[in-house]
Amino acid sequence: MIVTTGCSSDSSETSGEPIPNDFISDSAAPQSEDGLPQDYPRDLAPVVEGEVVSAESGDPAGSFAVTISTDNTVADAAADAVALLEGAGWQNRSDSSIGDGTTPVAQFFNLPDGGLVILNVVDVRGDAAVSYAVRLP
């Protein structure tokens, strides 16, 4: 049996040229230092503290999808998220309560002049993942 392996000792450097635009999606929004899209309305639709694990901008009219990993329980993360949104003027349209701390939470919010936030909070191995679907007026 013959086994062949290969290694390269070529220590050539990259060309330093930028990646051609053909490889970058037109729908990819540049991310800010905090991990949110640059055009995300931080004051209008505040999010909980944590690590942004995904963030996307939709159409130019203002739709966003954001998921944040936190070190909190579902109940604490949901309470924080609800307080932030209500503090920014969103009205909670859900009849459900925050729950027992482990049950997934879904809340729906509207602004008086339009707009929608769907908030989902789920347990991920003892920590909460908070997802926002935001549609601005």
Give pLDDT tens digits for 51-98: 999 999 887 778 999 999 999 999 899 999 999 999 999 998 886 656
pLDDT value of residue 100: 61
- Would you list the DSSP string of 28-76? PPPB-TTSSBTT--TTTS---SSEEEEEEE-STTTEEEEEEE-SS-HHH
Strand, helix or coil at 64?
strand
19 residue type, one letter:
I
Q: Which residue ranges form the domains of the chain, and what is each CATH number?
A: 36-135 (3.30.310)
How confident is the model over 101-128, as pLDDT tens digits? 567 788 899 998 889 999 999 999 989 9
Cross-strand pairs, 52: 68
